[in-house]
């Protein structure tokens, strides 16, 4: 059965003239034991909520996963797809791309991410089990990880968090083949992985990765463990390739017709390319259907749940928000702010919004990378999610921004929870690879990123984001919100929550900002990404001022200065570029307006603003790194002030 995987991997890579045969051939025995004897799943229902998750963290070995899914009978993973490996539009992309219908749990390829996703999946599983009971939620998360996965820094964050949370249903199979692209792993690494995992609170063991019974025994032990488990499986990369096995030559290139022919002989595999002998296919198909009775029994248990619990579970799994409750929470918050305006930091406004939203949306799970009180992500009464209490809704991720972001991706992929987590905006660089994958996968993960400019003050330029808004706005399918006040903050939270098809960043201030939106407006004014906050007195505007976040108040003050000089100006708040740029052209043109003078104000770099103010517009912002000083001094020092904005407008009017 394992040789069927090897043959398909060799053939598909050969046909594509590109790909990685080494891992699938080396890990075929591990995968065969796991999928035929341990993994709980039903190929006929890839989305069964209580299935065990399998994450191929070493995504370059994608043919392992595609071969398995094909052999097991996943309807969409046809032999035609295998033959179209790495071709445009095929399910068999170069690296696995999240597609639940086809059985692919997460997009992997950037090494280490899958392992960290799996930690999030395992957290989501324990949390939902604590809420809905083991009868409804009781599954394991398995990972196949390579040397590269374990060399990446993110793996340390992931395994430390998993060990701390005692995620005993997380089982990592390490394809310990001692080979990476440059050659032997020993060229660059001499870590004892078993002891490393043990030090992080895992159960860890070594086995021969080509001995099915040894693998099975280790998996049995792992399933009984009270800690997460590592099984280091000693394997030979490219197992079966007569001259290339055990070397980096099998890692990422087709083996060649001659080597493949010789491998077939060595493995005793006589079937032609892409053909699976019926006896072997039947056994694989039986393995693919093995979980059906378990799934049906689970469905009965779900049906037997009392109606409200069942409805809650089903709603959460589909990802549908409790829409009326969200709308009511947002409206109540906005009404309160209209009655009693709050001149507070938007991070504090975010906490206020979260008080209402987390009460309305029980699937929201908050957290912070050790900046809880700074990020304001924990609402009153939110219990900590811990090894002692998985029902908690707040996760202390530790100083692990990257691990947090990737775990949140795993939680979103698992379903049933909506993760949000906090750090400083400057440290979005540390979580960026995972944010990018959430965007690529279309996952609802919400990043609260406070201390969003030089406005944080004395911590200095290391902590003051300058290029980060532009860098985040460059990621496709990521929404970057930068609300200007308490009202926009709750509106942006609503938009982030309602964006079920991608991640969001909320860039929030440390410093207080005035509440500019004083009147209650039922609709979400941020929904179009940009809108006129203050119109020009007497009709036609000579000057349009655009700003986001804390700089909207500066634009408003500049508007006042200009009014005193009888200059008709208008102010446009721009809380979300992506939503604005997606609006119809006519609507955008109306918001941009036809004032000859366009000025944008943002305490960051200019990049991106030309789409609104044009290359001949004036930009008031940062052109280099910040400095350490009280924030008001910094705004004056870098000349991001109302006076400067008004002067710039007047200079152009002269
Ligand atoms: C973050 C990241 N860096 C680099 C790569 C490129 N890359 C792909 S596989 C690999 C290492 C291969 O070694 P190993 O993980 O042991 O896989 P094996 O050779 O056993 O297939 C590298 C560096 C990547 N996919 N992701």
Q: Are 159 and 195 in contact (CB under 8 A)?
A: no
- Predicted confidence at residue 538, as pLDDT, reads 82
Q: Can you spell out the DSSP letters for 307-333?
A: HHHHHHHHHHHHT---HHHHHHHHHHH
For residue 106 the two structure tokens come to 């997460």
- Predicted confidence at residue 381, as pLDDT, reads 86
Nearest CA to ligand 1 atom 19: 180
Q: How far apart are CA 337 and CA 82, in angstroms?
A: 57
pTM above threshold 0.95: yes
Q: Are 326 and 357 in contact (CB under 8 A)?
A: yes
Q: How far apart are CA 128 and CA 141, in angstroms?
A: 14
For residue 165 the two structure tokens come to 């949370």
The residue whose CB lies within 8 Å of the most ligand 1 atoms, and thus the one to mutate among 117, 180, 250, is: 180
- CA of 238 from ligand 1 middle (Å) equals 15
Q: Which residues are catalytic?
A: 401
Ligand 1 within 6 A of 8 CB? Answer: no
- Predicted confidence at residue 345, as pLDDT, reads 98
Closest CA to 28 of 74, 73, 66, 64: 64
**Cβ-based neighbour number of residue 159 at 10 Å:** 28
Q: Are 371 and 430 in contact (CB under 8 A)?
A: no
- CA of 153 from ligand 1 middle (Å) equals 13
Q: Are 547 and 382 in contact (CB under 8 A)?
A: no
Classify residue 281 by its DSSP letter.
H
- CA of 421 from ligand 1 middle (Å) equals 28
Dihedral sign, Cα of residue 267, residue 269, residue 275, residue 277: negative
For residue 565 the two structure tokens come to 């000089």
**Helix boundaries (H) for 140-224:** 147-151, 153-164, 193-199, 212-224
What burial class does residue 145 get, using C-beta atoms within 10 Å of its C-beta: 0-12 exposed, 13-18 middle, 19+ buried? buried
**Pairing label, strands 618-621, 597-602:** parallel
- CA of 169 from ligand 1 middle (Å) equals 26
- Mean pLDDT by runs of 10 across the 654 residues of the chain is 98 98 98 98 98 98 98 98 98 98 97 99 98 98 98 98 98 98 98 98 98 98 98 98 97 97 98 98 98 98 97 98 98 98 98 98 98 97 97 98 99 98 98 98 98 98 98 98 98 98 98 98 98 92 98 98 97 98 97 97 98 98 98 98 98 94
Q: Could you tell me which residues come within 8 angstroms of residue 207 by beta carbon, excluding any fewer than 6 positions away?
A: 214, 215, 217, 218, 231, 232, 233, 234
- CA of 12 from ligand 1 middle (Å) equals 20
| Position in ligand 1 atom list of the atom nearest CA 175 | 20
| Position in ligand 1 atom list of the atom nearest CA 181 | 12
Q: Are 619 and 589 in contact (CB under 8 A)?
A: no
Q: Are 263 and 6 in contact (CB under 8 A)?
A: yes
Q: How far apart are CA 233 and CA 208, in angstroms?
A: 5
C-alpha angle 527/529/532, rounded to 5°? 100
What burial class does residue 514 get, using C-beta atoms within 10 Å of its C-beta: 0-12 exposed, 13-18 middle, 19+ buried? middle
- CA of 229 from ligand 1 middle (Å) equals 22
The residue whose CB lies within 8 Å of the most ligand 1 atoms, and thus the one to mutate among 145, 181, 191, 250, is: 181
Ligand 1 within 6 A of 148 CB? Answer: yes
- Predicted confidence at residue 397, as pLDDT, reads 98
The kind and range of the H/E element at 543 are strand 543-547
- Predicted confidence at residue 537, as pLDDT, reads 87
Q: How far apart are CA 416 and CA 42, in angstroms?
A: 20
pLDDT tens digits, 487-527: 999 999 999 999 999 999 999 999 999 999 999 999 999 99
Beta bridge partner(s), residue 6: none
The residue whose CB lies within 8 Å of the most ligand 1 atoms, and thus the one to mutate among 107, 108, 111, is: 111
| Position in ligand 1 atom list of the atom nearest CA 113 | 1
- Predicted confidence at residue 625, as pLDDT, reads 98
Residue position matching structure tokens 């056994």: 283
Nearest CA to ligand 1 atom 18: 180
């Amino acid at each position: 059965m394992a040789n069927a995987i090897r043959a398909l991997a060799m053939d598909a890579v050969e046909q594509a003239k590109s790909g990685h045969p080494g891992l699938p051939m080396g890990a075929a025995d591990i995968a065969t034991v796991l999928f035929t004897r341990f993994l709980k799943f039903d190929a006929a229902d890839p989305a069964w909520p209580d299935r065990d998750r399998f994450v191929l963290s070493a995504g370059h070995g994608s043919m392992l996963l595609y071969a398995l899914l094909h052999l097991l009978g996943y309807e969409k993973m046809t032999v035609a797809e295998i033959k179209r490996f790495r071709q445009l539009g095929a399910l068999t992309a170069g690296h696995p791309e999240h597609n639940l219908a086809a059985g692919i749990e997460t997009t992997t390829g950037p090494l280490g991410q899958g392992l960290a996703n799996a930690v999030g999946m395992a957290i989501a599983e324990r949390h939902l089990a604590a809420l809905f009971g083991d009868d409804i939620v009781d599954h394991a998360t398995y990972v196949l990880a390579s040397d590269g996965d374990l060399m990446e820094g993110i793996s340390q964050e992931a395994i430390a968090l998993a060990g701390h949370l005692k995620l005993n249903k997380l089982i990592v199979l390490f394809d310990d083949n001692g080979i990476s692209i440059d050659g032997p792993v020993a060229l660059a690494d001499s870590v004892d992985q078993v002891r490393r995992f043990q030090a992080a609170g895992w159960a860890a063991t070594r086995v021969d990765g080509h001995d099915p019974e040894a693998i099975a025994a280790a998996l049995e032990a792992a399933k009984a463990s009270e800690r997460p488990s590592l099984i280091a499986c000693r394997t030979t990369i490219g197992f079966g390739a007569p001259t290339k096995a055990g070397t980096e030559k099998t890692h990422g290139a087709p083996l060649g017709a001659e080597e493949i022919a010789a491998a077939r002989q060595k493995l005793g595999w006589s079937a032609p390319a892409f053909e699976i002998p019926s006896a072997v296919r039947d056994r694989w198909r039986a393995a693919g259907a093995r979980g059906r009775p378990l799934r049906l029994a689970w469905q009965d248990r779900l049906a037997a749940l009392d109606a409200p619990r069942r409805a809650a579970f089903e709603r959460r799994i589909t990802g549908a928000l409790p829409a009326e409750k969200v709308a009511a929470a947002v409206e109540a918050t906005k009404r309160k702010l209209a009655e009693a305006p709050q001149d507070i930091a938007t991070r504090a406004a975010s906490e206020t919004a979260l008080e209402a939203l987390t009460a309305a949306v029980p699937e929201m799970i908050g957290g912070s990378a050790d900046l809880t009180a700074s990020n304001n992500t924990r609402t009153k009464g939110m219990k900590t999610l811990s090894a002692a209490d998985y029902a908690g809704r707040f996760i202390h991720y530790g100083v692990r921004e990257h691990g947090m972001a990737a775990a949140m991706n795993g939680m979103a992929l698992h379903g049933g929870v909506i993760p949000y987590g906090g750090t400083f905006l400057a440290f979005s660089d540390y979580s960026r690879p995972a944010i990018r994958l959430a965007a690529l996968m279309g996952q609802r993960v919400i990043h609260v990123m406070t201390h969003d400019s030089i406005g944080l003050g004395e911590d200095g330029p290391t902590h003051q984001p300058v290029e980060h808004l532009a860098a985040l706005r460059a990621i496709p399918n990521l929404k970057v919100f930068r609300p200007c006040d308490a009202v926009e903050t709750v509106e942006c939270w609503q938009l982030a929550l309602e964006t079920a098809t991608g991640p969001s960043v909320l860039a929030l201030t440390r410093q207080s900002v005035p509440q500019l939106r004083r009147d209650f407006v039922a609709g979400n004014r941020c929904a179009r990404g940009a809108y006129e906050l203050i119109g020009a007195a007497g009709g036609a505007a000579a000057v349009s001022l655009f700003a986001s976040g804390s700089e909207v108040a500066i634009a408003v003050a500049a508007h006042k200065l200009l009014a005193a000089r009888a200059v008709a100006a208008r102010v446009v708040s721009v809380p979300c570029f992506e939503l604005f740029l997606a609006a119809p052209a006519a609507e955008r043109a109306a918001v941009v307006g036809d004032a000859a003078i366009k000025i944008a104000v943002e305490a960051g770099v200019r990049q991106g603003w030309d789409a609104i103010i044009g290359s001949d517009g004036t930009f008031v912002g940062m052109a280099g790194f910040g400095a350490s000083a009280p924030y008001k001094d910094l705004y004056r020092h870098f000349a991001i002030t109302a006076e400067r904005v008004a002067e710039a407008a007047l200079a152009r009017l002269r």
